[in-house]
Amino acid sequence: MQRHACEPRPDWRERVERIGLSYHSHETGPYWDESACYEFTASEVDELEGAARDLHSLCIEAAEAVIRNNWWDRLAIPPAAVPSILNSWERDDFSIYGRFDLAYDGTSPPKLLEYNADTPTALVEAAVAQWFWLQDTRPRADQFNSIHERLIDAWRRWNGRSIHFSSIKEHAEDEQTVLYLRDTCVQAGVETRSVSVEDIGWDPRRRCFIDLDNVRIENCFKLYPWEWLWREEFAVHLPSEPVRMLEPAWKMLLSNKGLLPILWEIFPDHPNLLPAYEGAERLGACYVAKPKLSREGANIARIEGGVVVEESEGGYGAEGRVYQALAAIPSFEGNHPVCGVWIVDHEPAGLGIREDCRLITSNLSRFVPHFFQKSEQP
């Protein structure tokens, strides 16, 4: 695993905008950053892929343990949500995607930092933008990236006839993410409609959710966290399950950092897991404290020698925290990459790298493309 400095394509902004990455820059600098890239060996890619496959299986087993032992409190899951989670688990409701964030340095086994299993973003960047970057800059190289094809295949396997796609208003990244997913769904031959989360209506006569044309929402991909849905006004209608959501309700078990101590409890010393507990005591003076439901690196604190050395802001934490051993996140001239391995329809499908000068990856962390050299053909 190496980091290379690169010369960005002269017209990189126009190029990434053309494929939907309109949110390529922050006020403080680029978000899409092709002034650098990461190179992997084929065996390193295999290792990341294998780790993600194993971790997904472990998470499914851990979720089963939560259900079997009624560990709802350990995940701060509201009691009202439990029957829906159980129903969706029993039905094996379809899941389209998720993303593991892994600490990896190319030498030691990848370590799970968290599983973004409900509302992962950085999808357009990983599936499309870096693929076109590869074609433009290194057409002979390869990339751990079959996200696009896997998504289309997954929608084909999904047995629904039509689906609504929903995100919050006036948020370019979310709108583009959902638009891209909708495009893959259309390519699979599924009928699609869109409705903003805020515009979803409730028809009391038909007892169903509806869009702005009063069309019933039977299936809905929502880029909106489950735990937020359950605390809002329309949550009163969710127990009757008038709509099948994607991601399904059972993903609340996997997208929750409360699962990290459970994973460690069930699979102690697994090479892809970091020690994690519900209290900090067993980790000594060095650890990371994570709210169970935080997103985009919010409210994460890094403690070294018993002192908080890095902490991110946010509005999470009331739901409780978990404590995880420090991961060996590598430093490439002060840049710390985190490997996001995408899972599509339960299988590893690609890689996206976010890097930061800080050790806590946040919503401002840069997306940096990657490649690996194709194996020699015999």
Q: Is 245 in the site for another protein (CB under 8 A)?
A: no
Asked whether position 199 contacts another protein by CB under 8 A, the answer is: yes
Q: How far are the Cα atoms of 45, 48, 50, 111, 347 from residue 54, in angstroms, in the given order? A: 14, 10, 6, 11, 10
Q: What is the separation, in whole angstroms, between the first and last Cα of the chain?
A: 24
Q: How far is 41 from 151, CA to CA, in rounded Å?
A: 25
Closest CA to 178 of 218, 229, 228, 221: 221
Taking CB under 8 A as the criterion, the residue among 295, 302, 366, 370 binding another protein is 295
Report in angstroms how near the CB of residue 364 gets to another protein at its nearest. 10
Minimal distance in Å, beta carbon 316 to another protein? 11
**What Å distances lie between residue 9 and 15, 23, 35, 135, 211, CA to CA?**
9, 17, 9, 12, 41
Nearest to another protein of 234, 271 (CB atom): 234
Q: Specify the stretch interacting with another protein by CB under 8 A; choose among 10-18, 164-172, 278-286, 299-307.
A: 164-172
Contact 269, 234 (CB under 8 A): no
Q: Which is nearer to another protein, 168 or 266 (CB)?
A: 168
* Amino acid occupying residue 233: E
Q: Is 312 helix (H, G, I), strand (E, B) or coil?
A: coil
Q: Is 46 a residue that touches another protein (CB under 8 A)?
A: no
Total residues in contact with another protein, by rule CB under 8 A: 40
Residue 161 vs 231, nearer CB to another protein: 231
Rank residues 116 and 219 by Cβ distance to another protein and give the closer one.
116
CA gap 118, 67 in Å, rounded: 18
- With CB under 8 A as the contact rule, the residue among 228, 282, 308, 331 that binds another protein is 228
Among 9, 13, 171, 244, binds another protein (CB under 8 A): 171
Q: How far apart are CA 126 and CA 121, in angstroms?
A: 9
How many angstroms separate the CA atoms of 85 and 241, rounded? Answer: 11
Q: Considering the complex, what minimum distance in angstroms separates the CB of residue 121 from another protein? A: 5
Binder of another protein out of 144, 224, 250, 342 (CB under 8 A): 224
Residue 236 neighbours by CB distance under 10 Å: 10
Is residue 193 at the binding interface for another protein, with CB under 8 A as the rule? no
Stretch that binds another protein, among 45-53, 144-152, 204-212, 284-292 (CB under 8 A): 204-212
- Which residues of the chain form contacts with another protein (CB under 8 A)? 99, 114, 116, 118-121, 168-171, 173-174, 196-205, 210, 214, 223-225, 228-229, 231-234, 236-237, 255, 295-296, 363
